[in-house]
A and B are shown apart, each in its own frame.
Chain A
Amino acid sequence: MNARAMLALAVSAVLLIVPWLLPSFYVGIFAYAGIYALAAVGLVLLLQAGQISLGQGAFMGLGAYGSALVARAYGVDTMVTLIGSVCATALIAALIGFITLRLRGHYLPLATLAYGIALAGVFTAWHEVTGGASGLDKIPPLRLFGFELLDDRLYTQLIWTITLLTVLGLSRLRTSRTGRAIATLEAHDGLARAFGVDTTVLRVKVFVFSAVLAALGGALYVHLLRFVSPSPFALLTSFKLLIMAVVGGPMSAAGGVVGALAMEGAQWTLQDVLARWGLSGNLEVIVFGLILVVVLLKWPQGLWPAVERWLPKPSLRSREGDSLPRSTLSANRDEVLLRLDDIGIRFGGLQALKGVNMELRRGEFVGLIGPNGAGKTTLFSIISGLLRQTTGRVTLFGRPLTADHTLIRQGMARTFQHVQLMPDLSLIENVALGAYCRTRAGFIRGLLALDGEENRQALASARAALERVGLAAEADLAAGSLPLGKQRIVEIARALVADPQILLLDEPAAGLRFSEKLTLVRILRQLQAEHVTILLVEHDMELVMGCVERLVVLDRGRIIAAGSPQDVQADPAVIAAYLGGGRDKAA
């Protein structure tokens, strides 16, 4: 056990003992802090995935009302109603998530705000059932396996136990297969899909999980207070949870706890001070709003990085053991793997590609060149399923192209012209994303740390890939700290972990130093010897001419030449395209 785990254990022990030391008035406050922390932790996970919710309070309310109303009206055991209402909220969240998470940019926060208000409105409006604004009392207490939990201190311990276990689970999730995929969601949708992540489904899962935590918090709240009314689940609560998540910072689940404790502490201190000045009402919201604005302006990562600086380093997950098996590819050079028929695409008035026909046979090393703006990257996007062509057909392994996130499973991996790495994650974590399509552990297994063996294999493969490209020494550095050239090499390592049959490389040599280019050429030759099929877009002619067997030249969206490097070099149309010449005048 390393120092960090011991510290975490010690802090947890303190948090669990605290309820027995506090005067009874403060026990309640501490319990609520635990509940808010639980919901805030879920919101932190959402923020990590680049999502936002201004309606978490409503999910707390669903959990609370669901459990309280059923238990009160039908006398059902409260443990059953609690679990049932959390499950019901999960279903509702899945439905809402499925509808709204396809929204992008500014629509998503508005949508969460809207259903947050609408659901909270129902709690007040449906007064025959919910008791309206004045609420309902006589809510039964929580029963755990027949034991009635009436002692507030014990209850508070239960709340904090759940919260701390959730934090533990989420910090495990962060370094799991699913966690690596979640980290890509914020900025790199195309990357995630290119490596086999079904981003829509993953977004919904993250959303549902955060709603479950909120609902669980709400249900625990209502059986602690034994009274249910709409106001604790109104918009202000959603906002407060957001402040807690932002103040704690999206870096770590523990940030949610730090944020919740900080904000609850601030709230009670402020209310105390304001009452002494003879001021009443929710005046502390002035300060809350200011805190939110100032934190985002000055410390967008929240308080957690400041806390973490003083903590010992976390232990790295084991990467010992065997790599994932690598497939041996056949040497049958006649097999056509990828075929483009009459590909064309229009962007508004711009015909970016027209009538592109091309074939890629097994084991071939083909270079795709052309002046800037010729349509090379667009063609790459079509082949990797990120763009849909206007006309024509793409055939991969003899079948029509399927959805973008399934291509890597069929054996086609790619790198990106604009490097897409998660700058805060270590190289090995970045590279391990390549193993996503070859491993299976999902959200729950990552959360419960049941993915040990598989995760070891994925990390071992990532380390082997880094060794292969000569970056083993830097494996634990943050990807963002590397120079651009090395970042490109990392991208290749990541693609290799996916064990591809076809490798698409989009300008891998741009920004590389001479020695790095030599490494690149060495890797490419080695891959060729292993019968990996490579399609390379590159501007470095020396590198291209020295490596490839066949060249295809694109200009203004059309193929103007194809053949061996020597033939293409001598082709007058190619020379004209690169240097300008007669053709322009003729046109």
Chain B
Amino acid sequence: MTDTVLFLLVDGLTNGLVYALLALSLVLVFTVTRVVNIAQGEYVMLGALTLADLLQGRMPGTLYLLIGGLVLCAVLDAGRWRRDWRRASLYTGGLIVAGVAALAVTRGALALQLPVIGMMAVALLLVAPLGALIYRFTVHPIPNASTIVFVIISVGVSMSVQGLGLLIWGANPYPVDPIAAGGVMMGPVFIPYQSFAILITALLAMGGLYLFSEFTLIGKALQASAMNRLGAQFCGIPVNLTGALAFLLAAAFSAVSGMLLAPLITANYEMGFMVGLKGFVGGAMGGLIDYPLSLLGVMIVGGLESTSAYVASAYRDVLVFSLLIPILLWRNTRARAEAR
């Protein structure tokens, strides 16, 4: 009995930490841009499948997505040429350099056959900018739209990205190597090294984000945009850049969580969406604004998920998503109490 409980605890904790990275991304995006990003989970899928490609020595399809996105970005910003050709050429040049650099880094990494950690860094380099590009395409044009409009847009983004994933990688699952194979017996429970890797990464990500937002000027700009967008704008903070940065960082966190999760399950084009939504269930606990409460939320989600997988596996998702409603009601009464 204790063995089972311990096993479920470790399993739940591992899941919870993966969702924690997602919740972190969601809270970051929501606080800075007020976007409830249903599509956040798709970066999990992109991260995992990009890593799978790199580890098997293929050019990852993400590279073409990135280059395509950069081209689209240049086309959409063609109006800059009329206003100020110097800055426009600088901007377009920057986009071209970014594309070429991504291509060169990928080719170099494939030629050198880097270890898993190295490949993860390369995959991160390919996926994270996609976040900023999606911000440029979908949020930047309508800064004052309502929450509901952004939700619907993110649904569209999620569908498109998932479809592109299917187009690029097909429906087959891909195995992904863990950072370190094997694990240790801790008492009666076997813990894979990957779980430790997830723990360490999650802690590093959270600590990194904390230090970044408290002790750097850019981080403070992010915080300012999160507190009051208009006020931040008046203080000379380029809120569009902070928004893009929030999307980029969130994409990075989510992609990392995908790369860490993939060895435990397998990577396929559908894997991200559900992970993203479970991050939401946890994040909702903190109202999508409170990091520590979100962390508690995802741990509850992870625990409930591994327990229900053991007790009533068919109902796992049903239970996890039903949990959202009491959480939201609790948040809502809290919000009302604060309003009074």
* Interface positions of B from 141 to 180, Cβ below 8 Å from A: 141-142, 145, 147-149, 151-153, 155-164, 166-167, 170-171
Residues on B with beta carbons closer than 8 Å to the beta carbon of A482: none
Given A106-B147, A121-B318: A283 in contact with B156 (beta carbons within 8 A): no
Residues on B with beta carbons closer than 8 Å to the beta carbon of A122: 315, 318
Q: Say whether B325 contacts A239, CB under 8 Å.
A: no
Residues on A with beta carbons closer than 8 Å to the beta carbon of B322: 114-115, 118
A509 to B314 alpha-carbon distance, docked (Å): 64
A498 to B166 alpha-carbon distance, docked (Å): 59
Q: Say whether A239 contacts B284, CB under 8 Å.
A: no
Q: Does more than half of chain B's interface fall in helix, strand or loop, or is it mixed?
A: helix
Partner of A289, one of B145, B159, B280, B288: B159
| Contact pattern, B 304-340, Cβ under 8 Å of A = 1, otherwise 0 | 0000000000110110011011001101100100001
A160 to B167 alpha-carbon distance, docked (Å): 35
A283 to B164 alpha-carbon distance, docked (Å): 8
Q: Is B38 an interface residue (CB 8 A)?
A: yes
* Interface positions of B from 267 to 325, Cβ below 8 Å from A: 277, 280-281, 284, 288, 314-315, 317-318, 321-322, 324-325
Q: Say whether B163 contacts A117, CB under 8 Å.
A: no
Q: Is A105 an interface residue (CB 8 A)?
A: yes
Partner of A290, one of B155, B156, B167, B318: B156
Q: Is A52 an interface residue (CB 8 A)?
A: yes
Chain B's interface size range is: 35 or more
Q: Say whether A115 contacts B156, CB under 8 Å.
A: no
Number of interface residues of A (CB under 8 A): 47
Q: Say whether A100 contacts B157, CB under 8 Å.
A: no
Q: Which residue of A lies closest to B287 (CB)?
A: A107
Q: Say whether B321 contacts A118, CB under 8 Å.
A: yes
Partner of B277, one of A99, A104, A113, A388: A113
Given A99-B325, A115-B325, A118-B322: A109 in contact with B151 (beta carbons within 8 A): yes
A193 to chain B, nearest CB (A): 15
Residues on A with beta carbons closer than 8 Å to the beta carbon of B318: 117-118, 121-122, 125
Q: Which residue of B lies closest to A52 (CB)?
A: B148
Q: Is B89 an interface residue (CB 8 A)?
A: no
Q: Is B30 an interface residue (CB 8 A)?
A: yes
Residues on A with beta carbons closer than 8 Å to the beta carbon of B250: none
Partner of B315, one of A121, A246, A287: A121
B304 to chain A, nearest CB (A): 13
Q: Which residue of A lies closest to B35 (CB)?
A: A106
Q: Which residue of A lies closest to B312 (CB)?
A: A125
Q: Say whether B162 contacts A285, CB under 8 Å.
A: yes
Q: Say whether A283 contacts B328, CB under 8 Å.
A: no
Q: Say whether B166 contacts A281, CB under 8 Å.
A: yes
Q: Is B36 an interface residue (CB 8 A)?
A: yes
Q: Is A111 an interface residue (CB 8 A)?
A: yes
Q: Say whether A296 contacts B156, CB under 8 Å.
A: yes
Q: Which residue of B lies closest to A118 (CB)?
A: B321
Partner of B328, one of A103, A117, A121: A103
Q: Say whether A297 contacts B141, CB under 8 Å.
A: yes
Q: Is A127 an interface residue (CB 8 A)?
A: yes
Q: Which residue of A lies closest to B317 (CB)?
A: A121
Residues on B with beta carbons closer than 8 Å to the beta carbon of A111: 324-325, 328
Q: Say whether B321 contacts A121, CB under 8 Å.
A: yes
Q: Is A68 an interface residue (CB 8 A)?
A: no
Given A106-B30, A110-B36, A285-B162: A292 in contact with B156 (beta carbons within 8 A): yes
Q: A279-B167, A286-B167, A300-B145 are in contact. List 20 more A-B contacts (CB 8 A).
A: A52-B148, A54-B151, A99-B325, A100-B325, A102-B332, A106-B34, A106-B151, A109-B148, A110-B284, A110-B328, A114-B277, A114-B281, A121-B315, A283-B167, A286-B159, A286-B160, A286-B164, A289-B156, A292-B153, A292-B155
24 contacts between A and B (CB under 8 A): A54-B151, A54-B155, A99-B325, A103-B328, A105-B147, A106-B147, A109-B147, A109-B151, A110-B280, A113-B38, A114-B277, A114-B281, A114-B324, A117-B321, A121-B317, A121-B321, A125-B318, A242-B152, A285-B159, A289-B159, A289-B161, A292-B159, A293-B138, A293-B160
Q: Which 7 A-B pairs have the closest CB atoms?
A: A289-B160, A292-B156, A289-B159, A286-B163, A125-B314, A114-B324, A121-B318
